[in-house]
Chains A and B, each alone.
Chain A
Amino acid sequence: MDKHFVVGQPVERVDAYDKVTGKATYVGDMKFDHLLQGKILRSPYAHAIVKSIDTSKAKALPGVRAVLTYDDVPHIPFTPCGHPLPFDSPLDSLIFEKEVRYVGDTVAAVAADTKEIAEKAISLIDVEYEELPFLLKDEDILAEGAMEIHKDSKNIIGETFTEYGDVEAGLRDADIVVEDEYRSPIVTHAQIETHISIVDIDNHTGKLTFYVSNQVPTIMRERLAYILGLPRRMVRIVKMTVGGGFGGKQEPVYEFINAVLAQACHCPVMLELTREENLSCTRTRPSHYFKLRTGVTKDGKITTRDLYTIRNNGAYASHGHSVVLNEYGQFEGLYPCPNTRFDGKTIYSNQLIGAAMRAYGMPQYCIANESHIDHIARTLGMDPLDFRLKNLYKQGDKRNFGNYYSDHTCGMPQVLEEGLKRIGYREFRENPPADDGPIKYGIGMALSTYQACVFPFSCEMSGARLMLQDDASATLFINCTEIGQGTDTVMAQIAAETLGVPFEWISVVEGDTDLCPADMGAYASRQTYVTGQAVKKATLQCKEQLLERAGVMLERPAEELDTRMGKVIEKATGKELIDMPKVAENMIYHLTEGGTCGYEAGFIPVENVLEYMGSFAKVAVDTETGKVEVLKLVTCMDCGNLINPQTAMGQLTGGSIMSFGFGMMEQVLIDPKTGRVLNDTLLDYKIPTFADVPDIDAQFIHTYDPAGAYGNKALGEPPNITPAAAIHNAVYDAIGVNIPTNPLTPERVYEAIASAKQGKEA
């Protein structure tokens, strides 16, 4: 690898100052003349037919500008799923529904001069509902002759079945078969900034401009035009500073509602959800059920793996089944073996909607699978580490599925070595700490692979345009979406490195579909991997033109020249020849040969790479209360070369905290009697506070993968996969019970300890 000057430096984030001082503009900070406020009327029932709506009292309220129902808006069935074309989810959604399918479904909306008037108007709309039975549980939904939540769907959103080798024979011939069931809870993104947008309208042309807090501007433009029945040229998406996405803003969620309100009122309309709405009627990581069966030989070699999974996706498909496919993509990542079967389905239910959430199915799969692995090891009387070492994928091994992943780098051996050392695994095993009164100690680990992007299954195009200025600084135009991960900073670093200028010379214009080239946006862990290459490609073209000009000025062949930190240098010797700003100035102002220098490039990857990661946890469990204290949490990750070690560490630490919350306290609870969300506040939907965050030791394992622009692989989602599973296994180690669900609330842990004790006594 070449020496890098900007890549690999912990440069300050380009948005750090604005965010810290409050100058950054979020949608809610925007000022407009005559900005109206929208509000949604939501179904109070989990399943009902809207028989009639009387809006007359609401319309009569002073300050109300529009009241819209099903009859006033387009009825184009759509999927909000924020994937690139073509549509890969059922077109099962409408702007307003006549048959409402979960508590919170959209019935009508109001635009008014103030939020308070809008709220009052909502309460004045009279709706007559005919209540219908509703379905929440997998077994009821899949029962023979069950009511169909969507007509002719059989309640199935998608199904996948593949088998390699002979699984039944493998299970029959295995020395031991271990079986486990696991169910993950519904969790939600709980972004600090609730869902919000402003839709402005050009009353001459009808063109709509959406100011959004969203992760996928390019896809939003296509999808909103489709939903509203408009040509795409009539939609512009302007992405503002985003206060958290995590996958929940990877699709239009409610933006089409203030769009129809803006069309009706000829005024800009803001729609900002309350905290309660954000927690109970936006998007979730829905509940998954897993049944795992694994056949092993007596000496601990896995011969057969069988997984059955159900994703209970809620009232509409949204991302639905593609999340199960993502689990499938990693199913053979870690423990390849001859006989494998994956049987997964995604189903409808009458509850809030499952969609994308950071690491797309993997956090729940990881706990299910890695606790299963520990269970097998214990059944065999092996240490979970030794069992893993016996079965782990090694570079060059064959996988039945997933051979499309390139295999240039695999940092798993170093992940294990570093992680085990940092947690003190072997010392703990050799000298297990004695119980301290009611306190028991445990240690555990969890490993995973993860892909960088969705190649070769879905469009993976990213674009970038670099405009060279007359001083060799440059403006980078991208729809690579900064939602807090630090992509503006990292893309500027890649442009600076490639152009050969200091970091400060690059400015970024980002997230505007009228200004910036198409990009599939912030999902998977794709942006540094894919957009990074687009930025490099566009920048190389600018650099080439600049060097040609320099060659003319210096009367030397351009091939002999290179750039470095603002200077044109002699490639062979590194000798500085001329300042780049002088060349750039000459390019623009030359009397006869002047011109502009700007290039746009699109990039599509030709290979997909895997990151390798592992978490290692030490816990203390209070057996009288079930309370778990995570004493130490180590996460090591191979995500290739780091473009910015500081923002990378932010991702790894932040992902560890999010995963800790998933494993230990977060869950959306639904009242089985009504289908309502019980805990729609941040008091009862518990995300960890800083007081709760354990001692986190995050480490990167260095590899340099030739597939990335500068040796990088990918980083956005992987930190959110293994920590919860490692904690889960540490608790398993401490109490000897593999609790078949998460979060590990004190009550749940206490009950597991108590019932194990009872079992022993009985």
Chain B
Amino acid sequence: MMYSVKELYRPETLTDALAYMAEHPDARPIAGGTDILVSMRKKKPEDVLLVGLQNLQELRGIRRRDDGTVEIGAYNTFTDLANSPIIAESVPMLRTAALAMGGPQIQNAATIGGNVCNGATSADSAPGLFARGAILVLRSAAGERRVPITEFYDGPGRVKRQSGEILVSIELPAYSAAHYGDCYIKFSTRKAMDLALIGCAASCGVAEDGTISDIGIALGVAAPTPIRAVEAENFLKGKRLTADMLEEVGNLALANAKPRDSWRASKAYREQIIRTLARRAVRAAYEMAGGVL
């Protein structure tokens, strides 16, 4: 057959899934399969043990806690994200990202958990989750581990998911500021069925006086993993945004980026896009939070 699968186990509960994963350290969780099946068609990996997560209710749902934390079950498809009123209200940039990813068929299958665990720097959900400082909740038979997403990526296509672990949910800590705004911009050749050449997310908490109290700026495909543009963030914290500052935001965003030359785009061009997207995303997030330039 086209895919070299040794066994597909489809547990009904998370407990069963974790027990199986503990017994089979090589087993790979599969959710929508939109990444793993593509890599298996290229014959790597071969003879895979797959653990299907489709029936695990523990991985479903999107909730907003009283403290404002948004908790997203790992098994939410991009269509689920796009249709969620909680996402639309609390993290609209994730809705933008969900609708920018692949096409409708892929959005119906692919999950946010899979998008993160696949470890691609181009993952459309990653910049938004990085900007918001998402916490990943991983479970294994041994217990639970909470990891900031900024510490989860290990290199291109590699994450620090340990053997036996399943990503259960993703938590977005609340911003305390009076007003919130965010923005995700995906830059790609096509409007659908494409990977980001650069992706940029900005989230912004703005006080009544227009000063920025919380700020997250994150970039996809600007380095081997998604990254936070920390210097640009530090520059903006506690300030009111002005048009003059945007130029600096763009330049500072580059400080943390390591874009590369490839046949898909030159380093110089990627840098130009990073500068431009950072400016535009920050401005859009600030304005959405009621800030006036």
Given A116-B1, A624-B276, also A751-B190 (CB < 8 A)? no
Docked CA distance A624–B278 (Å): 12
Contacts of B264 in A (CB 8 A): 684
Q: B269, A747: Cβ atoms under 8 Å?
A: yes
Residue A683, interface by CB 8 Å: yes
| Residue of A with least CB distance to B276 | A624
What 0/1 readout, one digit per residue, does chain A (656-683) give for beta carbons within 8 Å of chain B? Answer: 0000000001000101000000110011
Q: A686, B263: Cβ atoms under 8 Å?
A: no
Residue A692, interface by CB 8 Å: yes
Contacts of A414 in B (CB 8 A): none
Residue B49, interface by CB 8 Å: no
Residue B193, interface by CB 8 Å: yes
Residue A431, interface by CB 8 Å: no
Closest approach, in angstroms, between the C-beta of B222 and any C-beta of chain A?
15
Docked CA distance A684–B189 (Å): 10
Q: A688, B269: Cβ atoms under 8 Å?
A: no
Q: Is the interface of B mostly helix, strand, loop or mixed?
A: loop
Residue B108, interface by CB 8 Å: no
Residue A746, interface by CB 8 Å: yes
What 0/1 readout, one digit per residue, does chain A (675-704) give for beta carbons within 8 Å of chain B? Answer: 000110011101011111000000000000
Docked CA distance A672–B56 (Å): 49
Contacts of B265 in A (CB 8 A): 747
Contacts of B269 in A (CB 8 A): 747, 750-751
Q: B190, A625: Cβ atoms under 8 Å?
A: no
Given A116-B1, A747-B265, also A665-B189 (CB < 8 A)? yes
Docked CA distance A690–B191 (Å): 9
Residue A326, interface by CB 8 Å: no
A678 contact from B2, B192, B263, B273, Cβ within 8 A: B263
Docked CA distance A750–B1 (Å): 45
A683 contact from B2, B191, B194, Cβ within 8 A: B194
Contacts of B276 in A (CB 8 A): 624-625
CB proximity to A under 8 Å, residues B174-190 = 187, 189-190
Residue B163, interface by CB 8 Å: no
Closest approach, in angstroms, between the C-beta of B277 and any C-beta of chain A?
8
Given A669-B263, A678-B263, A747-B266, also A691-B190 (CB < 8 A)? yes
Q: A689, B1: Cβ atoms under 8 Å?
A: no
Contacts of A625 in B (CB 8 A): 187, 272-273, 276
Q: A689, B189: Cβ atoms under 8 Å?
A: no
Contacts of B263 in A (CB 8 A): 669, 671, 678-679
Given A678-B263, A689-B191, A689-B193, also A750-B103 (CB < 8 A)? no
Q: B190, A688: Cβ atoms under 8 Å?
A: yes
Docked CA distance A665–B193 (Å): 13
Q: B272, A692: Cβ atoms under 8 Å?
A: no
Docked CA distance A682–B106 (Å): 15
Docked CA distance A665–B189 (Å): 7
Closest approach, in angstroms, between the C-beta of B224 and any C-beta of chain A?
19
What 0/1 readout, one digit per residue, does chain A (597-640) give for beta carbons within 8 Å of chain B? Answer: 00000000000000000000000000011010000000000000
Residue ranges of B at the interface with A (Cβ–Cβ < 8 Å): 1-2, 103, 187, 189-195, 263-266, 269, 272-273, 276
**Which 10 pairs across A and B sit closest by C-beta, in order of nearness?**
A691-B191, A691-B192, A689-B192, A624-B276, A747-B269, A692-B191, A689-B193, A686-B189, A678-B263, A692-B190
Given A692-B192, A746-B189, 15 more A-B residue pairs with CB atoms under 8 Å apart are: A116-B1, A625-B276, A665-B190, A683-B193, A683-B194, A684-B264, A688-B190, A689-B190, A690-B192, A691-B191, A692-B190, A745-B189, A747-B265, A747-B266, A750-B272
18 pairs of residues in contact across A and B, judged by CB atoms under 8 Å: A116-B1, A624-B276, A625-B187, A625-B272, A665-B190, A678-B263, A679-B263, A682-B193, A683-B193, A686-B189, A686-B194, A691-B190, A691-B191, A692-B190, A692-B192, A747-B269, A750-B269, A750-B272
Residue ranges of A at the interface with B (Cβ–Cβ < 8 Å): 116, 624-625, 627, 665, 669, 671, 678-679, 682-684, 686, 688-692, 745-747, 750-751
